[in-house]
Structure 1
Amino acid sequence: MPAELHKHHRDVTGGWLRPAVFGVMDGLVSNAALLAGVVGGGASPTAVAVTGLAGLAAGAFSMATGEYTSVASQRELTLAEIAVERKEIARNPEAEERELALVYESRGLTPELARQVAGQLHRDGEVAWRVHAREELGVDPDDLPSPWVAAGSSFLAFAVGALIPVLPFLLGFSSVVVAIVLTGLALFGTGALVARLTTRSPLFGGARQLALGAAAAAVTYGIGTLVGAAIS
């Protein structure tokens, strides 16, 4: 008999990957673009550093607040719908059992087997409402995303990403070239890492993220140059 194969899948529902990835990317691109704008406007290295730190703090708190609110709202809506489902099962268990049997029929089970499976699951009320939540709402009630995890991931990730463009100025470098090179490497590296996590081409993912970040920085640099020239 051949050995049984077990596949180990990565956690794709924990609620941390999307805000963490988005936070790093957003921190890199937004702060690099912000600094490009003030550099184009003729700001001093000190002003650039202060602007970068302000952008880091403002963006990190904004990201964390937005992620917390959105995930908490989604979680509350899901829990409210689960509560409705639990009430329906308690009030009319026979109808809900038939409804579950129809779901299994639509997935290929024979009517008799579908009724047997639904009946077996409905013997335990706690099992029943969890199954209905998964089958009808498409959610796992035991693995709902945490708003605190999403907020914390977003805050830390954005702060790390936003720190990279401003780091050379904090270390005393006055030339923007160092910041450009460091930011470019970080953009390519994070894009390649995300592509690898999603089984895409790291070269394509890195190049795409680098191109998008460079475009954003170029636009804001041009705006800063125009505004700086007009004001002076």
Structure 2
Amino acid sequence: MPAYSPMRSVGATGKQGSAIKLKDQGVEVVRENLADEQSLGEALVGVRSAFLDTHSSTSERPTSRRRRRRPATANLVFLVFSSVTDATPMIGISHIDSEVRIEEGLRESGIEWKVVAPVLFMDNFPKRNGLMRSLALGFFRAVFGSRQLQLVSTGDIGYLAATMLSDPSTYFNRRLNLASDALSTSDIQAIYSRIFNQPVWSTWMPGFVLFLDLDAFRRQKKTRSPRLPVFRPPE
């Protein structure tokens, strides 16, 4: 993708946060409903290459079907999709299952594709020292104990996706698992403390806190399955 190629960001309002920064850099910001097939098609009109991902929601299943059909009719020639490491249709976590179906649809769509498959986002831990980070550290410690988790930042994922869009011929029809550091919750806490040169606290939470959150955490605690991609231990 040459430097002069126009860029479009879909799904943002353009009125806050990172969307404003994108507009200031000359990126066209388009607000569309990605859960609606017609809206998604309109957002992709004139787009030749795209980077798409999903989010966990109650409408994930129908949305995944739309996203795997629409690119074939939207003049896309290359699509980079953010999935999840080692995803299989038998994991039983709705968000991951939907991404498996999207990957299957891409292979059937006839367009050139590339899948980046991260493990666990570093961005789950807030950058600012405060209550939210303490809660995040406490939650992960309650669920995973001293277990090491493979982490990758969303910034690194975005950089890699941009690299692929700029040189699609190198990456056609490839799937790349992404991970960086393998850290326990205590490791993460110690790193933050060293960076800020001050104590970083972690709240205490009981182990049953996982039953209050996503089915991914509940299933991981129940099965301890190494096939669960977002929590797979380092080899």
* TM-score of the superposed pair, with normalisation by structure 2: 0.21
Which structure has more relative contact order (CA 8 Å, sep 6+)? It is: 1
* TM-score of the superposed pair, with normalisation by structure 1: 0.21
User: Rg bigger for which structure?
Assistant: 1
